[in-house]
Structures are given as structure tokens and as C-alpha cells.
Amino acid sequence: MLSERELDRYKRQILLFGEEGQEKLKKAKIFVAGAGGLGSPISIYLAVAGVGTLTVVDMDVVELTNLNRQILHYDRDIGKKKTASAAEKLREINPDITVKVIDTTIDKTNVARLVGSSSGIVDAMDNFPTRYLLNETAVHKKIPLFHGAIRGLYGQATTIIPDVTPCLQCIFPKAPPKEVFPVVGVTPGLIGMIQATEVIKYLIHDGRLLTGRLLIWDGLESHAEEICVERDPKCPVCGGSHSPDKKSETIPVKSPARKKK
């Protein structure tokens, strides 16, 4: 049940997807892997939207060089753990949700436990090895993975529904080389918003998800392109559970549930 306060807080979006949709957000548990450039806007917007339980994982300390893009962290937070900084801001932004933070490095020994029984995993990482771990866990636990990545003014995003869409390994069999990537805050802001939008749509069962499609954003050209991506029957992560009769279009999203008032 939504409280009077929640009905008021979310009034304008309840116009969009009804109290039923808001309840779905409230019941959801979203795992945000990373409290950096992507994780900051994603967790802020999922918090204000009323996602009931947000778990944010990061192991870093806030540095001055983070502050051009990691909008959860302020100048005063330099030297503080990103998880502590994130928890403080997110709880202030929306005290009506539960914010959990975990100060650790995601690795193969802890990833399954950290993800737990989340409703969705948001990939806000800055490296492919950890993304592959999240992907394996998502596929194994059949939890959706909302992928995003950026470099400079370029970005990409896709939504992965295990058993239905290609997994991250199908789409990117080989990781791009590791580097200190250039970035301006608007790019993770924009890609993060696509990911957060996907999470909300998935949770409230509305719209058409970015499944089977890789969105490519070119900020220099202000141009978005999408390319179709397909499952790899030989994929070492999800190939074994390949179901040829299932097409990426058949995503588990019902018809729009918008509520008009």
C-alpha cells in the first residue's frame, strides 16, 4: 500500500502509470553496480521515482577528478567512500525508500550473493571484466541486466532479458581495451537516463524495451542509432539455454498500463 505521503510524492507519475505502477516500483529491488558516472544519475532517478529498495555497490573513494560527472558526490565528499556519500544523498533525496550500500569490489566470489534476489541489475561499471561477471549472474539467476557504457561523447545501451535476448557476451564477445577513458558528465547522464528509463518501463510493464537492440549514442553528431543484436547459439554464457522459438521481440512486457485521470 502506498502511504498518503507517497501518493503525494509520486502524484505526477501516478498520472502516468497509476497507483498500480507505483506499487510495482515500490516492491522492486534494484541492484546498481557502481556509484560513478553512470551509477550517480541512475540511482538518483530511480530513487526519486520510488524504487522501493536500491542497493548501490562501489569500492572507491571520491576523488576530485570524479566530480565532473559523478553527480552523487560533492566537493565536500572528497576522500569519503562513494557508498557513504551515495547513501547520504539518496536517503535525503527520498527518505521513503530503502537505500542499501555495499562497499566492496564485485568479483566472482561475491557477485551472486551481492545481487541476491534483485528485480534487476543495472550495469554502471567502468570495465568489461566486471560487466561479464554481472552478465553471467544475470543469466544464471534470470534477472534482467540493464547495460550502459560510455566514452567521451559516445555511449551505448541495451536491455538484456535472460533466455529472451542476447546476453552481454553475445553482443560483446571481446572487451574493448582497458584505458583511462575521456568523459564529460553529460554522456553518462544521458546513457544513465536511458538505463533508468528501461528499469522503470520493465518494472511497470510499459512500453517497448531496448531488447535485441543496441542503442548507440553519438553526442558529437547528436545522433542516435540502433543496431539489431542477436543471440549467439555458441555463446559460452547463455548459448546453452538458447530457445530458437523465442524471439527478442517477445519481451515480457504487457500492453501499456497508463492510467488516465
Applying CB under 8 A, the residues found at the interface with another protein are 34, 36-39, 123-128, 148-152, 154-156, 172-179, 181, 183, 188, 216, 218, 220-221, 225, 227-230
Q: In which region does residue 54 sit, left (phi positive, over 0), alpha (psi from -120 to 50) or beta (all else)?
A: beta
Check: CB of residue 94 under 8 Å from CB of residue 86.
no
Written as nine digits, the cell of 228 is 539489431
Q: Which residue matches cell numbers 551509477?
A: 39
Query: Which CB atom, from 11 or from 178, has the smaller least distance to another protein?
Result: 178
Burial class (CB in 10 A: 0-12, 13-18, 19+), 136: buried
Q: Within 10 A of 255 (CB to CB), how many other CB atoms are there?
A: 8
Check: CB of residue 109 under 8 Å from CB of residue 18.
no
Q: How far is the CB of 48 from another protein (least distance, A)?
A: 21
Query: Which CB atom, from 21 or from 192, has the smaller least distance to another protein?
Result: 192
Classify strands 145-151 and 120-123 as parallel, antiparallel or unpaired. parallel
Query: Which CB atom, from 63 or from 225, has the smaller least distance to another protein?
Result: 225
Q: Which residue matches cell numbers 550502459?
A: 148
Q: How far is the CB of 62 from another protein (least distance, A)?
A: 16
Query: Which CB atom, from 182 or from 256, has the smaller least distance to another protein?
Result: 182
Residue whose C-alpha is closest to residue 122's, from 138, 141, 103: 138
Query: Which CB atom, from 1 or from 228, has the smaller least distance to another protein?
Result: 228
Q: How far is the CB of 249 from another protein (least distance, A)?
A: 15
Q: How far is the CB of 59 from another protein (least distance, A)?
A: 14
Q: How far is the CB of 184 from another protein (least distance, A)?
A: 11
